[in-house]
Amino acid sequence: MTSIKNENKVTNLKHFIGGEMVDGTSERFGDVFNPSTGEVIAHVPLATKEEVDETVAQAQVAFPAWGKTSVGRRVEIIHRFRSLLLEEMDQLAEMIGRECGKTLSDAKGEITRGIESVDFAINAPQMLKGEHSVNVGGNINAYSMKQPLGVVAAISPFNFPVMVPLAMTSMAVACGNAVVLKPSERVPNSALFISELWKKAGLPAGVWSVVNGDKEAVDALLTNPTVTAISFVGSTKVAEYISHEGTRNNKRVAAFGGGKNNMIIMPDADIDHAVTAFLGAAFGAASQRCMAISAAIPVGEKTAEQFTAKLKSRVEELKVGSYDDEQADFGPVITQQSKDTVLKYIEESLEEGAQLFVDGRNPAICETEKGFYVGPTVLDHVTTDMKIFKDEVFGPARIVVRVNSLDEAIALTNDHELGNGVTIFTNSGAAARKFTEEIEVGMVGVNVPIPIPVGYHNFGGWKRSKFGEGHMFGPDTVRFFTKTKTVSERWPEPSSVEEKTDFAFPSNK
C-alpha cells in the first residue's frame, strides 16, 4: 500500500469494484483538496448511473455465497480487518488529515472510535441468534432467524472519512450483506484504503465496493431496484431527500442529518470543568461534527458572566494550524466555500445584534495563508431568532445564549427543529433528572462534553436530525441490516386414524 503523502503529485483515483481498483469511465472528475494548503492533491472519478449499476450487479453476484458463509467464518475476516486497521493507523490518520484537515491526533481518535463498530460486529454470532419456543400449541415449535437483506448501500460524509463508514458497514458485512459505499467525493482516499484492507483480510470480491461520485451516483443507488437499504449521514436537507426518495423506491432508509447541540451550564456547575469541556466539544475538528457543541447556554446572568470570563482567554489561546502541526488544536475547514459560509454567518449575526466575543476571522497561520482556515470565534448575546442560532454552522463560529432558568433552556432546545445531541453541566441530580426526562433530543449528556454513544449503543437524533427508523452503531444495526423469518414446525407421529379437516382459524385450544 502506498501513502498519498506527496505534496507535489496530483493522483488520479479509482473506484473499488469486484475486488479491484477500477478506472472511472465517466470522464468526469472532482478535485480533492488538502484543506491545510488549499492545493489539489487528487482527482476523483464521478461515476455514472451505468457504473453504479455495474457495481451493484457485481455485489449482487457476490452476495449469495457470502450470505451463506457461516457467521464464524465472517467474523474471522472481520478480526483480521480489525488487526489491519490497527497496523495501518498511522498511514490512515495521515490520509484523513491530508484530505479532511483534521489534526493527526483527532484523526487517530476517529479511527479508534470507528474500530468500536468493528468490535461490535465481531459480536455478530450473539446478535444474530433468533428466538425459539417449544410446543406453542398442538406440538408445534416456533423459531425465528435473522437473514441478510442482500445488497445495501452507505453514503458517508466528509467529516468522518473512516469512523462513519465503519459504523455504517461493519455490522452489515457481519450480517452477510454485500455493501456498496459511496464516500464523500471530498475525501475518497480513506475509503479506497479501507477497501484494500478488506481485501487483504480475505473478504471475497464484490462483498465490499466503493463507487465514487456526486449526486448522479447517489440517485443511481436510490433508484437501483437491487439495493435493499441505504444508510446516509450528511446535512438535514440531503438526509430528507435520501429518506423520501429511498422509501419511494421501496428501500429501508436510515438518514442522519445535522445537529444544533446545546451545552446548558447550571449555576451549581463546575465552571472550569464546563469551559474545558466546551472548548474541545465546540472547536474540535474545526467544529465540523454533527455532534459538536454549537451553543453554550448559561443559566442566570451570574453564571453567564463567570463562564464567559473564563472562556475568553482559553479560546484566544487556541491554535489553528495544518493537520500535521503537533501544536495545532484544530485545522482548517474542508473547502473555501465552507470557509466563506462560516464567515458569512458571523457577519450576519453581527448585523442582527450579536456581540463579537472572540474574533477568529483572520487567524495567523505560520506555514501558509492559502489553506481554508477560520479561527475560533465566539458570539455572545445571541437570541433564538438569529440565523446563526437556527442553522447548523459547520465551522468554528460558536455562540452563547443567555437564559434565566433551566425551563427556558429546555424550552428553546425543544423548540428547535433539530434534535441530535445536548448536554447539561450541573452538580444537581434533580436538575439532571428533570433535564434528561424533559429534553426532546436523541442523545443526551450529563457532565459529558459530546454525548455520542459508544459503538455498542444506538446512535441517532430526533426530529429533523434523523429520518427513518434505523440507528447507527449498536444493536439496532442488526435489525436494520437483516430481515426476520419466523418458522412454525410440527413433526407429527405416524397415525392410522384419519384426521378431520378443521376450517376454523388456528388457535391454541
- What's the rounded Cα separation, in Å, for the pair 345 and 272? 28
Which residue shows C-alpha cell 459508544? Answer: 454
3-state secondary structure of 341: helix
3-state secondary structure of 11: strand
By CB atoms closer than 10 A (0-12, 13-18, 19+), residue 458 is: middle
Q: What secondary structure letter does DSSP report for 287?
A: G
| Cβ density class 189-213: b for 16+ within 10 Å, e for less | bbbbbbbebbbebebbbbbbbbbbb
Closest to 32 (Cα-Cα) out of 45, 22, 42: 42
Number of Cα atoms under 13 Å in the Cβ half of residue 304:
19
| φ and ψ of 231, to 5 deg | -110, 135
C-alpha cell at 24: 472511472
Is residue 366 annotated as a catalytic residue, yes or no?
no
- What's the rounded Cα separation, in Å, for the pair 498 and 118? 56
* The three-state (H, E, C) secondary structure of 74-107, written as one string: HHHHHHHHHHHHHHCHHHHHHHHHHHHCCCHHHH
Positive or negative, the Cα torsion across 233, 94, 119, 394? negative
By CB atoms closer than 10 A (0-12, 13-18, 19+), residue 72 is: exposed
Say which amino acid occupies 48.
T
By CB atoms closer than 10 A (0-12, 13-18, 19+), residue 43 is: middle
Beta carbons within 8 Å of 467's beta carbon, 6+ residues apart: 239, 240, 242, 243, 253, 254, 255, 257
Q: Which is catalytic among the residues 100, 175, 290, 366?
A: 290
Catalytic residue numbers read 290
